[in-house]
């Protein structure tokens, strides 16, 4: 058995198996290429026979850490799972705790949560599209997507006071009301991004070189997408009309939400779904701002509990949490909630024993669910198709390892 080493790769000849002359190729783990994971690719010549994804390089024990923190402190912990999509990753947890507390956020807070979720979705898709571009050596797409992402990070910063980890949705509402100038800033961002999406279609999606790399590559048939438990744009690109936003959490029911659904199920269609979802998210934010109800952005029960110094801040449009809020006790019980992140559906199973901390917390992230696609989709393709398939799946390793 012979072996050789290349930068970031190790190759081993395995001999003959079932008539195939197999080579084992280790890709990663290194951040700029495979991310925080290793891919063991088995090749017959240049054809992929099998792929074994090796994860766990950034295991963070988020679920166990949650059991050691008060409910509100858990929010800033779990949003580190997917920093690029902080509100979508934490909102179902907040809603689970609210159900155990027996409280409901005001209508205005639901709309504000939805606005930030859609801003995060756009940022997440631009991040994934940029990385997908660089996987294909399309450096222009990478630079454009990451540059345009800053526009929406600025909007998130205006709304929450933080670019990435916002801790915006809290039990009973949100931490800040809509700031002055936000509507005008969004209108400017919407006009800009609508124009840019047309340019993305020209330079990337309809680019004959890109289409040659992505079309009919990594095809995921509709039935397989369902059986394998694929999630998010990877599921909808195969013609499955399902999106967790259809479960009517936050303000999505009032906004008449409908999912973007593809048909072909190949790598190109997965890119198309993400581009169109950016377009649709702009419409949802616009609709939410126009329909935004007046009134409180934080539950009246907690406003009454707040001391005068804290009420003063609420009147100014911000929440400063009193000490009593940090030690809120929930009723005993179990709750399951879900939401749609940029990468797909995230599910929480929260168990309470009536204390001030979660007794148990189980999280199923979309990247963990989509991991199986790395094993199934590349088979029969050439080795150089593997980066194209990886880039189309928009996988986020820390989210799977959590």
CATH level 3 topology of 62-401: Cytochrome-c3 Hydrogenase; chain B (1.10.645)
| C-beta separation of 127 from 40 below 8 A | no
Q: Is the pLDDT of residue 244 over 80?
A: yes
Residue 218 makes CB contacts below 8 A (sequence gap 6+) with: 266, 267, 377, 378, 381, 385, 388, 389, 392, 393
**Does the pLDDT of residue 20 top 70, yes or no?**
no
Categorize the per-residue pLDDT at 302 as very low, low, confident or very high, splitting at 50, 70 and 90: confident
CA angle 35, 244, 375 (to 5 degrees): 35
Predicted confidence band at 75 (pLDDT cuts at 50, 70, 90)? very high
- What is the C-alpha R_g of the chain? 22
Grade residue 1 by pLDDT with cuts at 50, 70 and 90.
very low
pLDDT (tens digit per residue) in 181-240: 999 999 999 999 999 999 999 999 999 999 999 999 999 999 999 999 999 999 999 999
Establish whether the linkage from the previous residue to 29 is cis, with ω within 30° of 0.
yes
- Quote the tokens at residue 296: 């409180």
CB 338 within 8 A of CB 245: no
Closest C-alpha to 277, from 233, 333, 337, 224? 233
Q: Average per-residue pLDDT in the chain?
A: 88
Return d(Cα 156, Cα 117) in angstroms, integer. Answer: 10
The pLDDT value given to residue 303: 73
List C-alpha distances in Å: 327 to 71, 72, 323. Answer: 8, 8, 7
144 pLDDT exceeds 90?
yes
Decide if pLDDT at 10 tops 70: no
- Note whether 41 and 51 are within 8 A (CB): yes
Compute, in degrees rounded to 10, the torsion defined by CA atoms 106, 360, 87, 83. Answer: 160
- Full-model pTM: 0.92
| 13 pLDDT more than 70 | no
């Amino acid at each position: 058995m012979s072996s050789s080493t290349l930068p970031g790769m190790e190759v081993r000849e395995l001999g003959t198996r079932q008539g195939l002359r197999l080579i084992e190729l280790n890709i990663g783990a290194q951040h700029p290429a495979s991310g925080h994971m290793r891919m063991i690719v088995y090749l017959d010549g240049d054809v992929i026979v099998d792929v074994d994804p090796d994860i766990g390089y950034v295991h963070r024990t988020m679920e166990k850490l949650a059991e050691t923190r008060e409910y509100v402190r858990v929010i800033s912990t779990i949003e580190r799972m997917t920093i690029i999509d902080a509100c979508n990753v934490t909102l179902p947890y907040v809603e689970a705790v609210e159900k155990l507390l027996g409280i409901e956020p005001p209508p205005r807070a639901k709309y504000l949560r939805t606005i930030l979720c859609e801003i995060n979705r756009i940022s997440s898709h631009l991040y994934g599209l940029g990385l997908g571009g660089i996987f294909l050596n399309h450096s222009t797409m990478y630079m454009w997507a990451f540059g345009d992402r800053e526009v929406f990070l600025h909007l998130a910063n205006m709304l929450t006071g933080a670019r990435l980890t916002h801790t915006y949705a809290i039990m009973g509402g949100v931490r800040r009301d809509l700031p002055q100038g936000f509507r005008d800033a969004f209108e400017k961002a919407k006009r800009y991004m609508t124009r840019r999406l047309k340019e993305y279609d020209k330079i990337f999606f309809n680019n004959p070189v890109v289409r040659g790399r992505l079309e009919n590559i990594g095809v995921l048939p509709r039935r397989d997408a369902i059986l394998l438990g694929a999630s998010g744009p990877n599921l909808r690109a195969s013609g499955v009309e399902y999106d967790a936003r259809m479960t009517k959490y936050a303000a999505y029911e009032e906004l008449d939400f409908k999912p973007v659904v593809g048909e072909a199920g190949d790598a190109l269609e997965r890119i198309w779904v993400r581009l169109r979802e950016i377009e649709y998210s702009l419409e949802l934010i616009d609709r939410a701002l126009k329909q935004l109800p007046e009134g409180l952005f934080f539950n009246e029960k907690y406003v009454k509990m707040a001391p005068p110094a804290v009420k003063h801040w609420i009147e100014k449009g911000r929440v400063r949490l009193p000490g009593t809020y940090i030690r809120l006790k929930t009723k005993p019980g179990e709750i399951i909630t879900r939401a749609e992140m940029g990468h797909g559906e995230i599910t929480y199973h929260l168990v309470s024993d009536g204390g001030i901390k979660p007794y148990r917390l189980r999280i199923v992230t979309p990247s963990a669910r989509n991991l199986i696609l790395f094993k199934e989709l590349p088979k029969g393709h050439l080795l150089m198709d593997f980066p194209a398939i990886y880039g189309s799946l928009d996988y986020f390793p820390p989210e799977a390892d959590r």
